[in-house]
A and B are shown apart, each in its own frame.
Chain A
Amino acid sequence: MSTVVAARRASGWKDTITALPWIAPTLLLIAAVVIYPTILMFQTAFVKYTPQGVERGPAGFANFNGPAGAFTFPTVPWPAIWTNTVVWVVVVVLATLVCSLALAQFLNKDFPGRKLLRLVVILPWACSVVMTTTVFNYGLQADVGVFNRLFVDTGILQAAQGFTKNPATSFWVAVFVAVYVSIPFTTYTILAGLQSVPGDVIEAAHMDGANVIQRYWSIVFPMLRPAIAAAMLINIINVFNSLPILKILNEAPGYHTAHTTTTLIFEYKVKLGPGVASALSIVNFGFCLLIIAIYLAVVKPTKEVQ
């Protein structure tokens, strides 16, 4: 018996070796460009650097909580940054979800031009976020911005505002743009989920006297849960890691109150060097791993290939 098991085990590893030529290039690239920089980042977090990136010996935990540490550097408004980061992720992800649920419901109807409309919805997804954000930055300029003129002409604003010059307003403009560019992916995921809702069940519920809202909440919505879970978790990671929107829309310099932990990494990298930036990156990295773990546990993306 045990020899059979042993033989099977041996043949199992033989299979792995046979598989290597096919999967080794993928493994190598992941090792070199994902795993190795992760290790480097952890090492860097414990080394002292000048802002220009010159090494100055071991740092212990000084990059985290020293006088020029990621979490203790004076003038960095940490309470505001924690709040921003949470608000940024929660508001953007939830607002995206609500808009996408409605939009997917609409695009799932049968009407002429539906296919074309779906392609228009894809625009903010296909276009570079940098370019999309740049248009918003231009449109919201106080002097030459077309959106500002439109707001004044329609009476929404009394006078043109410099939305991007002030951290308080630029943050909320960034929230809008982030929702805007996140809607297409979420909508498409929910549309895909809607394909699995059988029409005859809805019809039966209709016969039984369930109205539109009841049908949606008791039949359609529960069946959309896997799609919603997948879209939301992927969005959380994307939104949390989003750099260009906040960076391009906020023209105020320095450690202002519109930073999230992600944009702060890049500010630190320039001002305090790679050591401090790595220390903060480790916290962000931990958060990403947590979301990935939840994704693997909840969405079970590998169940079909087992």
Chain B
Amino acid sequence: MAYRGGVHKKPNPIATLIGALFVLLFFSFPYLLMVISSLKTREEITKIPPEYFPAAPQFDNYLKVWSSQVDPGNSLLATTVISFGATLLVLLIATPAAYYVARFKFRGRMVFLFLVLITQMLQPTVLAVGLYQEFSQWRGYLVWVALILINGAFNLSFAVWIMQSFFASVPKEIDEAALLDGLTRVQTLFKVSLPLVWPGIVTAIVFVFVNTWNEFAAAFILVQDSSLQPLTVSMPRFLGMYIRDWQLLFTVATVAIVPVVILFALIEKRLIGGLTAGAVK
């Protein structure tokens, strides 16, 4: 049995309760503030000093925001398209690589895995100027393609690592039986292995999606046209500008975090194995 803190004795219930409440509050207070603030009126949120809670929650802020100056529609579209694009790209190219390195030894395999690992640890931020030099001429919707490629490349390694560990856990004999039955390698991958490793694939998909959804540095340096900027770039622009409609900003922030929090919660258990390349499971 794994180590569980105490020896035999149950933890003190009152201390545990206080600890649990503290942790609960500490890790949720900015997000509670986000949601509460999104339900205030403009008068309430710009009052000096501010009120803690709205007199009556303004749920229609969530409708009003779309036609306000904040105008998050385009940005939400940009974020969505880029996130789906990067996820699809990673899925298409990481799956065969993960399958092959899990199944076969070949000269250069370790070099390949090291290269993938180094990519995982490098970040768009440190290469931002190089990426700018490479992609600054990609104007219009092409800039979304550039961001799909960038997010795909930098999230690829997590997907390769997590999926290869899942593929490696499927006994080779299952593959071999399928090959004997006359299936090709590609058919074996799709019909036999993939259905068995779906938790690894879901983890990879969610991870890439959430990371791309939240990416800032590359989008910040590449997307000049404000109508094409994803949420992470367009929202902070409103800070310190003429607009003081914080409540509308927070409706967008809330809309932007809810889907990724749900997705992340689904794969919570398997994240570490992929991020530390299995060094810590």
A-side interface residues toward B, CB under 8 Å? 12-13, 15-16, 18-19, 21-23, 25-27, 29-30, 32-34, 36-41, 44, 53, 103, 105-111, 113, 117-132, 134-139, 143-146, 148-150, 152, 160, 180, 184-185, 188-189, 191-203, 206, 215, 220, 226-227, 230-231, 234, 237-238, 241-244, 247-248, 251, 262, 265-266, 269, 274, 277-278, 281, 284-285, 288, 291-292, 295-296, 299-306
Please give, as numbers and ranges, the residues of chain B lying within 8 Å of A19 by CB-CB distance: 100, 104, 106, 108-109
Q: Name the residue among A124, A130, A288 with the largest chain B CB count within 10 angstroms.
A: A130
Give the distance in Å from the alpha carbon of A215 to the alpha carbon of B8 in the complex.
14
Q: With A22-B99, A30-B119, A124-B27 in contact, is A185–B7 under 8 Å at CB?
A: no
Quick check: B101 and A111 within 8 Å, CB to CB? no
**Interface residue? B239 (CB, 8 A):** yes
Quick check: B278 and A281 within 8 Å, CB to CB? no
**8 shortest A-B CB distances, which residue pairs?**
A37-B130, A41-B130, A301-B277, A126-B264, A33-B153, A22-B100, A15-B106, A25-B93
Quick check: A44 and B129 within 8 Å, CB to CB? yes
Give the distance in Å from the alpha carbon of A138 to the alpha carbon of B257 in the complex.
17
Q: With A143-B48, A202-B7 in contact, is A195–B279 under 8 Å at CB?
A: no
Please give, as numbers and ranges, the residues of chain A lying within 8 Å of B41 by CB-CB distance: none
Q: How many A-B residue pairs have CB under 8 A?
A: 346
Quick check: B276 and A234 within 8 Å, CB to CB? yes
Give the distance in Å from the alpha carbon of A5 to the alpha carbon of B103 in the complex.
24
Q: With A128-B232, A188-B271, A237-B121 in contact, is A203–B27 under 8 Å at CB?
A: no
Quick check: A109 and B264 within 8 Å, CB to CB? no
**Contacting residues of chain B (214-242) with chain A, CB-CB under 8 angstroms:** 214, 216-217, 220-221, 231-232, 235-236, 239-240
A161, chain B: closest CB distance, angstroms: 13
Quick check: A117 and B272 within 8 Å, CB to CB? no
Please give, as numbers and ranges, the residues of chain A lying within 8 Å of B232 by CB-CB distance: 128, 130-131, 244
Q: With A12-B106, A53-B136, A109-B4 in contact, is A131–B216 under 8 Å at CB?
A: no
Q: List 15 A-B residue pairs with CB atoms under 8 Å apart, sorted by A's residue number.
A: A27-B112, A34-B127, A41-B133, A109-B11, A127-B260, A134-B235, A134-B253, A143-B49, A180-B30, A185-B271, A196-B2, A226-B280, A243-B216, A299-B279, A302-B277
Q: With A188-B272, A197-B3 in contact, is A111–B11 under 8 Å at CB?
A: yes
Q: With A32-B149, A33-B150, A130-B216 in contact, is A108–B5 under 8 Å at CB?
A: yes
Quick check: A113 and B27 within 8 Å, CB to CB? no
**Interface residue? B164 (CB, 8 A):** yes
Classify the interface of chain B: helix, strand, loop or mixed: helix
Give the distance in Å from the alpha carbon of A39 to the alpha carbon of B130 in the complex.
8
Quick check: A128 and B257 within 8 Å, CB to CB? yes
Question: How many of B's residues come within 8 Å of A, CB to CB?
Answer: 114
| Minimal Cβ-Cβ distance residue in B for A138 | B246
| Minimal Cβ-Cβ distance residue in B for A110 | B4
**Interface residue? B37 (CB, 8 A):** yes
Q: With A15-B104, A34-B154 in contact, is A40–B130 under 8 Å at CB?
A: yes
**Interface residue? B197 (CB, 8 A):** no
Give the distance in Å from the alpha carbon of A138 to the alpha carbon of B92 in the complex.
41
Quick check: B275 and A185 within 8 Å, CB to CB? yes
Give the distance in Å from the alpha carbon of A291 to the alpha carbon of B45 in the complex.
44
Please give, as numbers and ranges, the residues of chain B lying within 8 Å of A202 by CB-CB distance: 3, 7
Q: With A106-B19, A127-B260 in contact, is A301–B106 under 8 Å at CB?
A: no
Please give, as numbers and ranges, the residues of chain A lying within 8 Å of B49 by CB-CB distance: 143-144, 148-149, 152, 160
Give the distance in Å from the alpha carbon of A238 to the alpha carbon of B276 in the complex.
13
Quick check: A128 and B280 within 8 Å, CB to CB? no
Give the distance in Å from the alpha carbon of A243 to the alpha carbon of B104 in the complex.
40
Give the distance in Å from the alpha carbon of A30 to the alpha carbon of B152 in the complex.
9
Give the distance in Å from the alpha carbon of A104 to the alpha carbon of B124 in the complex.
30
Q: With A120-B28, A123-B28, A302-B114 in contact, is A108–B4 under 8 Å at CB?
A: yes
**Cβ 8 A contact of B121, one of A105, A152, A288:** A288
Q: With A103-B23, A269-B129 in contact, is A29–B93 under 8 Å at CB?
A: yes
Quick check: B50 and A23 within 8 Å, CB to CB? no
**Interface residue? B184 (CB, 8 A):** no
**Interface residue? B122 (CB, 8 A):** yes
Q: With A111-B20, A134-B239, A244-B232 in contact, is A120–B27 under 8 Å at CB?
A: yes
Quick check: A192 and B265 within 8 Å, CB to CB? no
Quick check: A123 and B129 within 8 Å, CB to CB? no
Given contacts A149-B52, A191-B272, A269-B128, 8 further A-B pairs with CB under 8 A are: A37-B127, A128-B257, A243-B220, A244-B232, A274-B129, A278-B133, A288-B121, A301-B278
| Minimal Cβ-Cβ distance residue in B for A125 | B264
**Interface residue? B156 (CB, 8 A):** yes
Q: With A29-B93, A284-B126, A288-B126 in contact, is A192–B280 under 8 Å at CB?
A: yes
